[in-house]
């Protein structure tokens, strides 16, 4: 051992110092929205490239495995798909007609801001949170592509989550199945308001909890579509979330709660779309979590 | 200096592995906690101070990328590292039972802390469910992962120690 007098702090004091630092940081990030973006940017440079690399390797392997799907399977699939194409062609021509009609009606009603016109950025999922308690993930696009905190994230045509942290070329997304997520939403058929809460207990079954549904006429049925509400402060209006799977009255006999099957497939989330347009709200309005 | 670099590399490696490969390998959506293994092992092998610092860095990484409240995970991991440091005195290089026991205890404590501070506080009272579906599987999986990862970490530590002894 080199004999060299160096300044060294007893570990007890170091522990105390770091504890204070952590507690301080917690207070700072909880009370004031102090941005840690410099630290995040630096660590992003370090971590994100490695994660991207590992994901590339993983994708290569899974591609190899997919490649081995037998020809028979592919033939069957091809046949089924051909039939589907025929069906869809017919359906499509009908829909095109409907679209023309819709656009005419829309221009009539002057409803020009709609879901279809939002700016979207496609991103890849490059990492999931290390614990088993929450459900947040990292994507490989960040401020460079116009993503900022509170941007909505969709996949498979349904809501996935919301951006909670962002760096130069990465962003972390809290999914709606996360236990701390709460989305103000509406049942499409009856326009009744409700909340969609993530729940760890239901997460493993691939469902989300739906609460505080005020359904006075008792018209909401299993299978009804639930979309984000127009009164939500962070989520854009009318993004599909899922379909009602079960529903029952709460103890107060006024509101209902139940479960919802999300449209997005959270088990196999590879690519997502980030809507870079954000809902514009007066700054004093406090949003839901 | 070599040791500092080695620590940094190990922390980054564990963090990245856990975020990517181990989430893909998750059984029943449960994955092992490599960061706890790393923190507890370093604490045990090298003592309170190094365990504490490694834990702090591990937790800080989690905080930056995934945490809502920066500092929380850093605090939890730091104390895990520090507590494992107390057992440094009875640490023998070729003994596997003590590290296994300590890492399991650390993992259990970690899960318990997460439950109390992030779930119980939001009126999620159903401890039985979380215990059976999250805590126990994670514990078992982590112990299995420990069998491999502890050897690796111990190997790195042995190499580093040899180097310093030769220099003496």
In a domain, residue A128? The reply is yes
Predicted local distance difference test score (pLDDT) of residue A289 = 45
pTM equals 0.71
List, for residues A76-116, the tens digit of each pLDDT value: 888 899 888 888 888 888 888 788 777 766 655 544 445 56
Q: Which residues of B touch A2 (CB under 8 A)?
A: 167-168
Residue A160 tokens read as 């996935």
Q: How far apart are CA A166 and CA A230, in angstroms?
A: 25
State chain A's mean pLDDT as an integer.
80
Q: How far apart are CA B18 and CA A247, in angstroms?
A: 37
Q: Which domains does chain B have, with CATH numbers?
A: 2-163 (1.10.1760)
B 15-54 near A (Cβ less than 8 A): 15-21, 23-24, 28-31, 33-35, 47-49, 52-53
Q: Which residues of B touch A179 (CB under 8 A)?
A: 119, 122, 124
- Strands of chain A, DSSP E: 120-128, 136-139, 152-155, 158-166, 171-175, 182-187, 193-197, 208-214, 225-228, 240-249, 255-262, 271-275
Whether residue B160 is predicted with pLDDT greater than 60 in this model: the reply is yes
Handedness of CA B65, B71, B72, B76 (dihedral sign): positive
Predicted local distance difference test score (pLDDT) of residue B43 = 92
In a domain, residue A33? The reply is no
Q: What is the DSSP letter of B30?
A: B
Cα-Cα-Cα-Cα torsion A45, A272, A129, A22, nearest 10 degrees, comes to 60
Confidence of residue A154 (pLDDT cuts 50, 70, 90): confident
Residue A54 tokens read as 């590992």
Predicted local distance difference test score (pLDDT) of residue A157 = 78
In a domain, residue A132? The reply is yes
Q: Where are the alpha helices (DSSP H) in A68-216?
A: 71-109, 200-203
In a domain, residue A83? The reply is no
Q: How far apart are CA B12 and CA A284, in angstroms?
A: 40
Residue B100 tokens read as 């296994």
* ipTM rounded to 2 decimals: 0.71
Q: What is the DSSP letter of A223?
A: T
Residue A266 tokens read as 């959270």
Its domain, for residue A261, covers: 120-278
* Cβ contact B75–A54 (<8 Å): no
Whether residue B4 is predicted with pLDDT greater than 80 in this model: the reply is yes
List, for residues B41-56, the tens digit of each pLDDT value: 999 988 888 899 999 9
Cα-Cα-Cα-Cα torsion B110, B20, A159, A77, nearest 10 degrees, comes to -130
Predicted local distance difference test score (pLDDT) of residue A116 = 60
Predicted local distance difference test score (pLDDT) of residue B81 = 92
Q: Is A279 helix (H, G, I), strand (E, B) or coil?
A: coil
Handedness of CA A73, A76, A82, A83 (dihedral sign): negative
Of the partner residues A14, A23, A164, the one whose CB lies closest to the CB of residue B71: A23
Predicted local distance difference test score (pLDDT) of residue A34 = 61
Whether residue A260 is predicted with pLDDT greater than 50 in this model: the reply is yes
Looking at the structure of chain A, the number of domains it has is: 1
Mean pLDDT of the B70-74 span:
87
Instruction: Identify whether the C-beta of residue A279 lies closer than 8 Å to the C-beta of residue A149.
Output: no
Nearest to A173 by CA among A121, A240, A115, A228: A121
* Closest residue in chain A to residue B167, using alpha carbons only: A1
Of the partner residues B62, B70, B114, the one whose CB lies closest to the CB of residue A26: B70
| Run of H or E including B163 | helix B136-167
Predicted local distance difference test score (pLDDT) of residue A98 = 82
Residue found by looking up tokens 């839901």 in the block: A288
Whether residue B77 is predicted with pLDDT greater than 90 in this model: the reply is yes
Mean pLDDT of the A138-147 span:
88
Q: How far apart are CA B32 and CA B25, in angstroms?
A: 10
- pLDDT higher at A274 or A46: A274
Whether residue A1 is predicted with pLDDT greater than 60 in this model: the reply is no
- pLDDT higher at A69 or A83: A83
* Among A132, A150, A198, the residue to mutate for chain B (most B Cβ within 10 A): A132
The CATH number given to whatever domain includes residue A147 is: 2.40.10.340
In a domain, residue A108? The reply is no
Of the partner residues A11, A28, A130, the one whose CB lies closest to the CB of residue B48: A11
Q: How far apart are CA B41 and CA B54, in angstroms?
A: 10
In a domain, residue A11? The reply is no
Interface check for B141 against chain A (CB to CB < 8 A): the answer is no
């Amino acid at each position: 051992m080199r004999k060299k007098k160096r300044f060294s702090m007893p570990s007890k004091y170091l522990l105390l110092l770091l504890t204070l630092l952590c507690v301080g940081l917690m207070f700072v990030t909880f009370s004031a929205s102090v941005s840690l973006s410099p630290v995040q940017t630096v660590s992003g440079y370090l971590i994100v490239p490695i994660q991207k690399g590992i994901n590339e390797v993983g994708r290569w392997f899974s591609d190899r495995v997919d490649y081995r799907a037998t020809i028979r399977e592919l033939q069957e699939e091809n046949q089924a798909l051909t039939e589907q194409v025929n069906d869809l062609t017919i359906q499509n021509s009908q829909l095109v007609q409907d679209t023309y009609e819709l656009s005419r009606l829309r221009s009539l009603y002057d409803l020009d801001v709609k879901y279809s016109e939002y700016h979207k950025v496609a991103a890849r999922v490059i990492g999931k949170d290390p614990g088993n308690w929450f459900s947040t993930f990292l994507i490989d696009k960040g401020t460079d592509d116009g993503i900022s905190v509170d941007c909505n994230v969709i996949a498979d045509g349904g809501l996935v989550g919301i951006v909670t942290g962002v760096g130069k070329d990465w962003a972390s997304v809290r999914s709606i199945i996360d236990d701390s997520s709460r989305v103000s939403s509406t049942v499409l058929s009856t326009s009744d308001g409700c909340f969609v809460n993530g729940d760890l207990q239901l997460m493993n079954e691939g469902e989300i909890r739906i609460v505080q549904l005020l359904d006075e006429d008792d018209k909401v049925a299993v299978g009804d579509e639930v979309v984000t509400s127009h009164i939500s402060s962070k989520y854009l209006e009318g993004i599909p979330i899922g379909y009602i799977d079960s529903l029952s009255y709460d103890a107060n006999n006024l509101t209902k709660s139940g479960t919802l099957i999300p449209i997005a497939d959270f088990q196999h989330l590879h690519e997502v779309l980030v809507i870079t347009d954000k809902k514009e709200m007066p700054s004093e309005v406090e949003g839901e979590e | 200096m070599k040791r500092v670099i080695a620590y940094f590399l190990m922390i980054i490696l564990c963090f990245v592995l856990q975020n990517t490969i181990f989430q893909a390998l998750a059984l029943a959506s449960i994955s092992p906690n490599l960061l706890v293994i790393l923190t507890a092992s370093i604490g045990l092998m090298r003592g309170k101070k190094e365990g504490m610092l490694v834990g702090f860095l591990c937790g800080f990484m989690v905080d930056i990328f995934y945490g809502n409240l920066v500092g929380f995970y850093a605090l939890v991991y730091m104390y895990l590292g520090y507590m494992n440091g107390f057992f440094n005195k009875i640490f023998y290089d070729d003994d596997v039972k003590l590290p296994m026991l300590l890492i399991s205890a650390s993992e259990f404590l970690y899960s318990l802390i997460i439950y109390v501070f992030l779930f119980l506080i939001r009126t999620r009272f159903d401890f039985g469910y979380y215990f059976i579906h999250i805590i126990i599987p994670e514990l078992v999986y982590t112990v299995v992962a420990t069998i491999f990862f502890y050897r690796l970490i111990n190997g790195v530590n042995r190499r580093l120690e040899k180097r310093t002894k030769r220099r003496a």
